[in-house]
Structure formats: C-alpha cells, structure tokens
Amino acid sequence: MPKSGSTPKITRRTALAGLSAGAALLAMPRLGRAADETIRIGFPTPLTGPFAAEARDQVKCAELAVKLVNDKGGIGGRKVELLVRDDKLNAGEAATRTLELIEKDKVHAVVGALSSAVQLAVNEVTRARGVIYVSISQSDTINEAKDFSKYTFHEALNPHMTTAAVARQTLKKGMKVAHLVADYAYGHEMLRGFKRAQAAIGADNVGEILHPFGAADYSTFMPRLMSMRPDVLCISNFGRDQANAIKQAVDFGVKQQMKIVVPVILHNQRLAVGPDVFEGVVGGANYYWGLEAQSKSAAAFNTAFKAANGGAIPTDYGAYGYSGVGSLLAAMQTAGGTDTDKVIDALEKLQYDLSKGPQHYRKCDHQSVQSVLVLESKKKSAMAGDNDLFAILANDTASDDMLRSCSELGHAT
C-alpha cells in the first residue's frame, strides 16, 4: 500500500496552469486531424427530482474537470466532451439513457449517477457492454464481487467509510442509538454501516424506523422515536428527505433530548432549511470548501470552480463530479487515449490528488481510497459568512483500513 503523500501524484491543474496551457495550445499547429476524434464521457445524473440540487452541482464540477483538460489541449490532442443525461432518479430511465449513450453517442466511458439504486442499473449496462464506469454515488455493494467488474470504478465514499468515521466522532460505549432510515438501498447500506460501527464501539441499538423514500412529512415517526429515548438519532436519508426529516425532528424537540447524526451531511440541504435547524448536526462528507485551509488541492479546486461559476463555491456532491471525471481523464492522459484496457490499467495505478488530498483506486475492488471528513453544522452566530456552514471535526486520512477487506467483499486476494 502506498503511504499517503509519499508517492508522486498527478499534479492538479490550477486555473493558472490551465490558462497558460490553453495559450500554448493556440500556438501549437493542429496536426493529425484524423486522430482528432472527440473523447465523449457519458454523464447520467438526476437533474429532476429531489436530488436535483446535488445533481446540478455534479454537472458543473464535471464540466469544470473537462474544461481544465480541454484548456490544456485535451488528451493527446483530442478534445473531451461531456454528455449529460437526466436519469430522473429512476433505474430504468438511467439504464435506457446509458445504453443510448453507449450505442448511439458512442461514449468512451461513463461517469455519474447519484442514487445508489440507479448507479447499480448503470453498472449493469456498462458491465455488459464493457464500458468503463466511474460511479460517483455512495454504495457498499458496487464493489462487492457480485456487482463488480473490471470496468467498474467507485470514486464516491461508501457507507461503510462515512458511517464509521461519523460513529467514531459521536458514539461512545453504552450510548443508546436510534435510527430513522430511508427504505431503499442507500438507507439500508447506511443503517448497516452504523450498526456495524456502533457494535464495534459498544453502543446499544434501541430501535430503527424505516420511512418511505421521498416522504414529505416525517412527523408521524417522531413520537415513537422520542419514546425510544436514545442519546443519538441517526437519520440515514438523502437530499430533500434529509432536510425535511431533520427539520421536523427539530420541530418536535428531538434536539433537546438527543444528538442528531447523519451519515452524509449535505451542503445544499443545510442551505435549504437554514442554520438554526442544522445547528449541531454532525455528518460525514467527501468534501467541504473550507478544507482549503488544510489542503492545497482543495484551494486550487475552489479557485477554479469560483472562476468558472461566478464566484460560487463547490459543494460535496459536486466535488464527486470533478474527481470522478478528473481521475478518469488523468488515466486517459496516462494511457494516451481511450483504449479501455489501457485506461483500466492506468486507473488501477493512478495516484491522484484533485480536490482533497491523495487518492487511489484499490486494485481488488476499484474503490477510491480517500480521506473522510466529519463535519458539524455551525450555529448562526458562529458563521463568519454565508458560506461558512460547517466546522471540520475530523479529516481521517486515506487508508485501506477504512474499507472492508477484499476477501470480505468476495474478491480473490
């Protein structure tokens, strides 16, 4: 295992480097038009529906990754193009769009999908067609032997990683823990992660409630959750479900009795319901712009994103779009093109640091080994500005130890 930070990494492209490289490209005579075929990356993501805010951020960041590479002259002189498709947060729709991207648009690789259920549908298609797929949705199953293929890469954190990091920061031996969980793959996987982590710590499970995905009202779950009298309430759902569930839990006075913890704390949902509601809520994250105080690559990513998006800051799920597409393009750069086997080989060997510190894809299951952040939502009076949302409680550095072992996932070791 390479030790973090000690290996040579692909230096990231700052806006400045991008600009100068862009100028260099203009000066360069464009030879070899025949080999100049555009590299197309398919990007299915749920532009409509309850995860739309996160999806749009993903697109912006993915476009930024493409732009930076194109500004530097593309890959071997070939321009990169991002083909964004709305998967409507629906597995069937995602499979159809992905198939279209492969058959009709002849994409060279697919990156994307936000929902864990949808990414598995995309993975089915790409696996069958032998197309590289870099998933940027949280999943614990996509790396398991039964869903895995050599074409499958997982750039996002997985529930095992985030729940373990969050539990380490918030749970203690003997604490009572209750769960409110969205009744679909994401929720189930997060619940499994939390239960595993709390068992290791020695905290007691006092109950779990599964709620329907996409519910608008969570009030009917609150009396029973309160009657369980837990010390910590883990709310494992995503997007607007997270905003609504936390808001209504707070309305019912849950925070006076217990601490609210989420596996993944969402930038956009914090914005959607305000600081008073989220105050003190702790959750895991792959990225937070405030990381720039600790990480040079985060600072450079923020700068490039701000320049391309009118001063806006990148968000957590958006960053996945950047690192997912960015790592793929870096591998294509190394492979000198789009030859699938060469790119897979390059991805497996890739050491990259695009936005948050060193990362690499573990060989056996292609899970990206990366740091995990634990964030706490600030109270209004502690915020230095509108974007100062979270305090970083922990930044666990990348390590294979964070992951379930290859043999546990069913891979030959």
Q: Write out the residues near other proteins by the rule CB under 8 A.
A: 49-50, 52-53, 56, 183, 209-212, 214-217, 219-224, 226-227, 240, 243-244, 247-248, 251-253, 268-269, 271-274, 276-277
Nearer to other proteins, 11 or 48 (CB): 48
**Would you say 8 or 311 has its CB closer to other proteins?**
311
Residue 161: strand, helix, or coil = helix
- 20 vs 219, beta carbon nearer other proteins: 219
Distance, in Å, from the CA atom of 329 to the CA atom of 109, rounded to the nearest integer, reads 10
Q: Kindly report the CA angle at 244 between 262 and 221, in degrees rounded to 5?
A: 80
| Contacts within 8 Å (CB) and 24+ apart, 150-153 | 150/344, 151/126, 151/127, 151/340, 151/344, 152/123, 152/126, 152/127, 152/366, 153/327, 153/328, 153/347, 153/361, 153/366, 153/368
Residue 42 or 50 having the CB closest to other proteins: 50
- The three-state secondary structure class of 31 is coil
Q: What's phi and psi for 279, nearest 5 deg?
A: -45, 125
Shortest distance, position 242 Cβ to other proteins, whole Å:
10
| Of 52 and 406, CB closest to other proteins | 52
The runs of H, that is alpha helices, within 106-212 are: 116-129, 159-170, 185-201
Cβ at position 62, least distance to other proteins in Å: 18
In terms of C-beta density within 10 A (0-12 exposed, 13-18 middle, 19 or more buried), how is residue 14 classed?
Answer: middle
Positive/negative CA dihedral, 12, 15, 20, 22: positive
Q: How far apart are CA 134 and CA 342, in angstroms?
A: 15
Distance CA 2, CA 28 (A): 37
Which residue blocks in 43-184 are alpha helix, DSSP H? 52-71, 91-103, 116-129, 159-170
CB of 11 vs other proteins, minimal distance in Å: 34
| Nearest distance from C-beta of residue 151 to other proteins, angstroms | 33
CA distance 250 to 248: 5
Closest distance to other proteins from the beta carbon of 213 (Å): 9
Question: Nearer to other proteins by C-beta: 85 or 211?
Answer: 211
CB of residue 50 to other proteins, shortest distance in Å: 7
- 111-132 b/e (C-beta count within 10 Å ≥ 16 → b): bbbbbbbbbbbbbbbbbeeebb
Q: Indicate the residue among 20 and 227 with the shorter CB distance to other proteins.
A: 227
Q: In this complex, which beta carbon is closest to other proteins, that of residue 99 or of residue 271?
A: 271
For Cα atoms 22, 348, 104, give the angle at the middle one, nearest 5 degrees: 65
C-beta closer to other proteins: residue 38 or 48:
48
| Count of residues making up the chain | 413
Shortest Å distance, C-beta 56 to other proteins: 7
Beta strands in 220-304 (DSSP E): 232-236, 259-264, 282-285
Sign of torsion, CA 325 328 330 332? negative
The nearer residue to other proteins, 17 or 209, going by C-beta atoms, is 209
CA–CA dist 380, 340 (Å, integer): 49
Cα–Cα distance for residue pair 187/1, rounded to 1 Å: 31
Residue closer to other proteins by CB (options 244, 367) is 244
Q: How far is the CB of 393 from other proteins (least distance, A)?
A: 24
Give the shortest CB-189-to-other proteins separation in angstroms.
16
Shortest separation between residue 64's beta carbon and other proteins, angstroms: 19
CB of 413 to other proteins, least distance (A): 37
The runs of H, that is alpha helices, within 1-41 are 15-27
